[in-house]
Amino acid sequence: MDLLLITPPAPRFTRESFVHLGPALLKSHLSSQGKQVKLIDLTARIRARIPWVDPYDHAVLLLNDSKDLSAYLHGFHREEIDRAAGRLWELIPARDRTARVIGFSVFSRHLLKPALAMAAWLQRHDKKKKIVFGGWLFSDPLYHDITAFPWANHVVSGPGEDTVEKLTNGEPVSQRIISEPLPLKTLPCPVFENEDLLWYRRVSIRRMLLLPYLLTRGCRHQCQFCPSSRAVPEFMPIEKASTELLALQETYAPDAFFFSEVNLNNQTMYLSELCQCMLDSGLRTPWGGFASLIGLSPTLIRLMAKAGCRYLQIGIESGSKRIRTRFNIFKVPNLPEVESILANLRAAGIRLNLYFMHGFPHENEREFAQSVDWLHRLSRYAATCVVSIFSVEPGTPIFLHPEEFGIRLHPPIHRNDSLAFLEPMFSLPKTHMVTIPFDEINGMNWAEKFSQNLRRQQSLQRFLTNEVYARHLLRISPCSPLYALKKKWFRPYFHYDVYL
């Protein structure tokens, strides 16, 4: 075995439960070079077990929330941490641990601490292994500092095919690597691990499997809070997409495809041609993904539905025209038009998950009330809705020019201590957990804004729980009472339930 690539476990309450594409692309690339690669996704394996009494669940929570993790990673003995990390290794068959290179694919900060603890545990038991960390989280340079640990041999930001290939060849590689994404047209067809897919089937309703496929990158819109707004849109060539989707359909028999990354209808011409190609090629697997409202004409909607589109994730963001204009949210037309598009989508049998956001800088009570009104009216067309608090993400226009948007960002809490993210996750100040804190110039300071956001979120959440999610649970209960019960208690990963 050349490479074992582990997706560490996310705590059960998070939404991070979906088949990951990055490891499948890496496996495809390395397999074509004759390498043996095994992927193991621990999130799915743990979520398929019965909660409350599950020792693996406890291990994940402990690693995320222990004060002793930092000392353990620095080489001191901490019995509890050692036991928890060792427990997670129990989920990995001994034959797979023989790989020369062990990689951790870390999609979010919830996965980081279990990954670090598992790596430190491994180093105590087998010093010969090369350990490499990669994944979306490391696009934030803050986390590159884990190379301070001598056993964290390499950290890769970006896809990292070349790096891992060199490592498996035994060639020298520097400690921190930044690799640029490959053009879509050169990407290989992903190769998924069948065992992981079986585990994902187990955690879903009626054993359904949603398989990701990278169809577009970047977005033609320029919403000022969005990390995708600065990337130039790119498309997978239609012939290539069609051939690969047919191959994936034959190999894995998924129940649906999830087309990533962001805006499916970046170019309506592309989407129409793709739909036509799917119809001609005989692709019969349903599909969905993220889309924006502008450009979804009745003709295009009918064509999409005919070609197999069964669900869409659509950002509505705010009901206030001033906020939409201020933050360049031009993907959302006026309310009657929005209602008409959503009605057409519903009539075509396309299920919807709608996203709303509040807490924009200088958003006043009236503007918030407009968003609440939109949520109430538009949720009638949707299978599910998600409401989140506005956050400032690194690299976005608002992050780069905060004063233009009337805010001042607080300095990062981690700036003075590069490994401060190792502090227990759930005892971080709540005010730092969602976003980079900011003060409104001539407005609220962060403490005031935060408590207002929390109050508003709670009231919106009540509406979602009592009406939108309740409706959703009623709909899925006849299919799977056990799954509905899990949703009631844990309520994670609603994004993907829209299809279920």
Residue of 7, 163, 204, 292 interacting with ligand SF4 (CB under 6 A):
292
* Out of 173, 262, 307, 386, the residue judged to bind ligand SF4 by CB under 6 A: 262
Is residue 226 close enough to count as binding ligand SF4 by CB under 6 A?
Answer: yes
Which of the stretches 91-99, 225-233, 426-434, 486-494 binds ligand SF4 when contact is defined by CB under 6 A?
225-233
CB of 292 to ligand SF4, least distance (A): 5
Round to whole Å and give the CA distance between 304 and 301: 5
Q: How far apart are CA 99 and CA 103, in angstroms?
A: 10
Residue count of the chain, please give it.
Answer: 500
Burial class (CB in 10 A: 0-12, 13-18, 19+), 214: buried
Closest by CA to 394, choosing from 143, 148, 113, is 143
Q: Which among 69-77, 222-230, 346-354, 472-480 is the span making contact with ligand SF4, rule CB under 6 A?
A: 222-230
Among 80-88, 132-140, 217-225, 405-413, which window interacts with ligand SF4 (CB under 6 A)? 217-225
8 Å CB contact between 310 and 351: yes
Six-digit token string for 288: 């969905």
Q: Which stretch binds ligand SF4 (CB under 6 A): 49-57, 221-229, 278-286, 458-466?
A: 221-229
Task: State the Rg of the chain over Cα.
Answer: 23
**In the complex with ligand SF4, which residue's Cβ is closer, 266 or 384?**
266
C-beta of 64 vs 313, nearer to ligand SF4: 313
Among 331, 351, 449, 486, binds ligand SF4 (CB under 6 A): 331
Among positions 47, 144, 217, 221, the unique one binding ligand SF4 when judged by CB under 6 A? 221
Strand partners, 117: none
Residue 425 in the binding site for ligand SF4 (CB under 6 A): no
- Stretch binding ligand SF4 (CB under 6 A), from 41-49, 159-167, 224-232, 384-392: 224-232
Of 122-130, 220-228, 415-423, 446-454: span binding ligand SF4 (CB under 6 A): 220-228
3-state helix, strand, coil in the chain (%, to 5): 50, 15, 35
Tokens 């033609």: give the residue: 220
> 223-240: b or e for each residue (b if 16 or more CB lie within 10 Å)?
bbbbbbbeeebbbbebee
With tokens 């070349």, the residue in question is: 162
Q: Is 229 in the site for ligand SF4 (CB under 6 A)?
A: yes
What single DSSP character describes residue 294? T
Binder among 92, 155, 197, 223 for ligand SF4 (CB under 6 A): 223
- In angstroms, what is the minimal distance from the CB of 328 to ligand SF4? 8
* Gap between the Cα atoms of 120 and 131, Å rounded: 10
Residue 188 CB, nearest approach to ligand SF4 (Å): 25
Q: Quick one: 154 or 221, whose CB is closer to ligand SF4?
A: 221
Phi, psi of 9 (to 5 degrees): -80, 135
List interacting residues with ligand SF4 (CB under 6 A).
Answer: 219, 221, 223, 226, 228-229, 262-263, 292, 315, 331
